[in-house]
Structure 1
Amino acid sequence: MSKNYFSFIDPAKSPIFYGYVILVIGTIGIYFSIPGQTIGVSVFTDPVKDALGLSRNQFSNAYMIGTICSSLVIGRAGVWFDRYGARYVAFFAALTLSGALMLCSWSVRMSEFMKHLLKLDTWLVPFVLMALLFFVLRFSGQGVLTMASRNLIMIWFDKNRGKVNAISSVAISFGFSSSPLWVNALIEGYSWQITWQILAVALLFFAILILIFYKNRPEEHGLLPDGEPKKTESDPEHLPLAKQYTAKEAQRTRAFWMYALILAFNSFFITGLTFHVVSVFASEGFPKEDAISIFLPASVVAVTVSLIFNFLSDYLHLKLYLYLMILGGIMASVGFLFLSSVVGIPLLIGGFGILGGFFAVLNAIVWPRFYGRTHLGAITGKVMSFLILASALAPSIFSLCFSTFDTYRPLGYLGLGFLLFLALASVKANNPQ
């Protein structure tokens, strides 16, 4: 079956290498996943939980259950990516995310209707409803749309993968870090219901752009990655790697687990902190404004790290990046532990930024470089399941820690212990190629 039905643009006739069009539209695709990301959901936490009559713990647990369920099935989306290509997978993900956001905007009315229908006036009704909506939101947004868009960019480039990822990462970092500000402005200006509806309509329009501009592989259009000249019949087949690993083969290498675990730590720490950032800072005596203000300087650090090390990634070993990311995690954990001290916030912002910067590099570059492009969907789908699971557990674990100990600090000690283990276990995490 052709993967290019409804195609109005021929990449082979593009005046510039079409990979650069893919770079722009794929980056926009990742940006459009914000409503399904923690940073996009967190701004809605307080008004939505209050409107539904849920406590912070109940809302966090609904988020956790929905996200865990998403992590269990996201691997299937990776298989779909390898089979059907980024174009259709991203298109249906955008449509699904749009529908989920529209339903979220009606969540209070749906909850009241179900309570009336079932003759049950209990918190379980909005709890189950939000768990289901979070499942769809996280699966389609954080999971499928992000994975398909990022993999698409990586497939269109090989030798210039690091440089291209640098451009994409800078745009995404600024986009993500600024999103709580403009989403919050929309909520305060129009209400949380209208804001979700605005995002839903925007995603519908973007789904059409996906159908027009997303193209699965350069080879399907007589092109090669990076815009290299087409090989003649006498030339050897263009294969950038010696071996194209399957997902199962990749999982038998130590590198797969070490890189996946540090990326998962980033998802856990950043998600937990972002989700409860106001509460975390309030527990140490800081106002809401101070809590929200950490995102911009952290994004500047993340963008700087991402820009420099993406460009250098075409020339350096990625194990160095792995250890630098672990160092960033240690800085963030120490800053988290000593938040109220003079060095607490600078360390937290610096570590937060370093983690985010290297996450943007490694999550895109390591998988095609280490394991090839052929089964990239299945491999990244498996990694994505770890990342989503970590982000699912984070809000509830942060919330449980605070309700049990009346402080978030024990999580800092747990983070340091995990990072030291990872540093020791990664000594032999070499590129399997």
Structure 2
Amino acid sequence: MAQSKKSSFIEPSKSPIFYGYVILVVGTIGVYCSIPGQTIGVSVFTDPVKDALGLSRNQFSNAYMIGTIVSSMVIGRAGVWFDKYGARYVAFFATLTLATTLFLCSWSVQMSEFIKNTLNNNTWWIPFLLMTCLFFLLRFAGQGVLTMASRNMIMIWFDKNRGKVNMFSSVALSFGFSSSPIWINTIIDIKGWELAWRYFAIGLILFSVLVYLFYKNKPEEHGLLPDGDKARTTPEEKRGKLANKQFTLKEAMNTRSFWMYGLMLAFNSFFITGLTFHIVSIFASEGFPKADAISIFLPGSVVAVSVSTIFNWLSDRLPLKLYLYLMLIGGILASVGFLFLASPVGVPFLIAGFGIMGGFFSVLNAIAWPRFYGRDHLGAITGKVMSFLILASALAPSIFSLCFSTFNSYSLVGYLGLAFLVFLVFGSLKANNPQ
């Protein structure tokens, strides 16, 4: 890590303000730049790309699912890289990988035709396998590595103000992510999907320069302390204040908290992804028009941002176990609303439930892991958690679809979700802070 300091053009210790606030800004931009690899960024390209490649919606969706599942299996390795090489280099190469993948995606039709001509075979398997590989790279570099490295870096630079800092980052990202489909779709309409992906790739290349210049691994490497604290001087005081014990991934996985919090976060990814992917069909099955289905996202986002803002601010003073149970209540509300959608309380319960879950997700996914397990192995621990989240989001659309095609109803998903949440309620009774 000393080498990273020698090769640095910008020295945090000479900054006129605490450099953690610079980290907050560039780290938040880093998560925002992962949008091309997130579901919300890929979904806008679905119709024009699948049509250009000659794939059906199911074939295109399955390619996305397989690529996402494979990325969830290897994202844990990226967490180990984060601990070994730091945020700067991991995020830098993730950004370049994402940019390269977007260039390749923009040429996917030409590559598919070239392979077909070379093999003298016009099968749909060729564009299917090609997009599966590209989706793997998109999800691994974007949703996985760049997001994880940027978020972890912010959390490492703060300790007692971690919740307040995460509040500002979460609010900015909520508005940024929710508005992204609008401007992405505008670019596609004006310039076409190929040029849209190339523009994103060029933007990421430019951002990689900022990553190399401004991303810094730990404040201690530059003679600083988290939060800009100058009171602690000895190594024992520094480490003792930050965490009583620095857990390895194996030690973290031996605690109940790791599994209860991780499974609750994974359930949120599963439920929200499945709901979003099939929202029109879910509401149509209960007699609602498309406009009613789409309209739930705005009030849900308001609930999520409000919950995230308030409870991020309070998280530095409140126990996170309270947050876990409030998130579980949100999940139960959402599941009940999902099951009784046609009733008077169905839609309000669903909106309130998934909004509450989304709000607490942004708090717990960022704050719980460094508070519970320390910072030394944060990459490996969050990498493992990220694999749960990615796998859950990959499986959700297919499981929702399977339930509907088999039983002509989505109710089974609601009942299974409710049973899983009840299990977590009892399993979390002893899910205390390992520190």
Instruction: Give the aligned partner of residue 41 of structure 1.
Output: 42
> Paired residue for 1:259, among 239, 261, 268?
261
- 1:236 corresponds to 2:262: no
Q: Tell me the equivalent position of 2:377.
A: 375
CA–CA separation in structure 2 for the residues paired with 1:232 and 1:343:
57
The answer as to 2:247 corresponding to 1:245 is yes
Asked if 2 retains the 8 angstrom alpha-carbon contact of 1:49 and 1:55, the reply is yes
Residue 226, structure 1, aligned to residue 227, structure 2: yes
Question: How far apart in 1 are the matches of 2:327 and 2:411?
Answer: 21
Distance in 1 (CA, whole Å) between partners of 2:348 and 2:89 is 43
Say if 1:235 and 1:72 are closer, same or farther in 2 by CA, change over 3 A.
closer
The Cα shift of 1:354 comes to 0.9
> What count of residue pairs does the alignment treat as equivalent?
433
Instruction: Tell me the equivalent position of 1:57.
Output: 58
1:344-383 Cα shifts (integer Å, max 9, x gaps): 3332222221111100000011101110011111111111
Q: What is the CA-CA distance between 1:155 and the residue it aligns to?
A: 0.3
Amino acid at match of 2:185: N
Q: Measured at CA, do residues 117 and 141 of structure 1 come closer, stay the same or move farther in structure 2, by a change above 3 Å?
A: same
Alpha-carbon contact 2:171-2:305 (below 8 Å) kept: yes
Partner of 1:272: 274
Alignment-mate amino acid for residue 343 of structure 1? V
Distance, in Å, in 1 between the alignment partners of 2:369 and 2:235 is 30
Q: Do 1:98 and 1:199's aligned partners in 2 also have CA atoms closer than 8 Å?
A: yes
* 2:188 matches 1:187: yes
Q: 1:11 to 1:295 in 2, by over 3 A?
A: same
Q: Relative to structure 1, is the Cα distance of residues 193 and 42 closer, same or farther in structure 2, using a 3 angstrom cutoff?
A: same
Q: Report whether the alignment pairs 1:366 with 2:368.
A: yes
What are the equivalent positions in structure 2 for 1:113-262 lying under 5 Å apart?
Answer: 113-229=114-230, 231-233=232-234, 236-239=237-240, 240-262=242-264
Q: Name 2:311's counterpart in structure 1.
A: 309
Structure 1 residue 35 displacement after superposition? 1.1
Q: Could you tell me whether the CA contact under 8 Å between 2:245 and 2:373 is conserved in 1?
A: yes
CA contact (8 A) 1:25 1:214 kept: yes
| 1:26 corresponds to | 27
Which segments of 5 or more consecutive residues in structure 2 lack a partner in the other structure?
none
Q: 198-207 or 240-249, which moves further after superposition?
A: 198-207
**Could you tell which deviates more after superposition, 351-360 or 337-346?**
337-346
Residue of structure 2 equivalent to 1:407: 409
Partner of residue 323, structure 2: 321
Mapped contact 2:335–2:415 kept (Cα < 8 A):
yes
Distance in 1 (alpha carbons) for counterparts of 2:319 and 2:300: 25
Match of residue 332 from structure 1? 334
TM-superposed CA distance for 1:172, in Å, is 1.1
Q: Kindly, what percent of the aligned residue pairs are identical?
A: 74
The 2-side partners of 1:288 and 1:114 are apart by 40
Mapping 1:94-109, distance limit 5 Å? 94-109=95-110
Where does residue 91 of structure 1 map in the other structure? 92
Residue 250 (structure 1) shift: 0.3
Structure-1 separation of matches of 2:376 and 2:389: 22
Does structure 2 conserve the Cα–Cα contact (< 8 Å) formed by 1:33 and 1:145? yes
Contact 1:222–1:230 (CA<8 Å) still a contact in 2? no
Distance 2:184 2:415 in 1: 33
Q: 1:273 to 1:102 in 2, by over 3 A?
A: farther
Is 1:38–1:274's contact at 8 Å kept on the other side of the alignment? no
Conserved? CA contact 1:231–1:238, under 8 Å: no
Higher alpha-carbon deviation: 221-230 or 42-51: 42-51
Q: Counterpart of 2:216 in structure 1: which amino acid?
A: K
Aligned residue for 2:237, secondary structure, equals coil
- Partner Cα distance (2:28, 2:297) in 1: 20
CA deviations on 1:101-143 (whole Å, 9 max, x unpaired) are 1211222222222222222222211111111111000000010
Check 1:170–1:289 CA distance in 2 against 1; reply closer, same or farther (3 A cut): same
Q: 1-side partners of 2:70 and 2:359: how far apart?
A: 28
1:289 Cα offset (Å)? 4.5
- What is the alpha-carbon distance in structure 2 between the residues aligned to residue 246 and residue 63 of structure 1? 32
Question: Given the superposition, is the C-alpha separation of residues 5 and 103 from structure 1 closer, same or farther in structure 2, using an over 3 Å criterion?
Answer: farther
Q: How far apart, CA to CA, are the structure 2 residues paired with 1:405 and 1:129?
A: 33
Bigger mean CA deviation after superposition, 88-97 or 186-195: 186-195
Is the CA contact 1:321–1:358 (under 8 Å) kept in the aligned structure 2?
yes
Is the alpha carbon distance of 1:174 and 1:145 closer, same or farther for their aligned partners in structure 2, counting shifts above 3 Å?
same
Report the CA distance shift for 1:346/1:202 in structure 2 as closer, same or farther (over 3 A).
farther
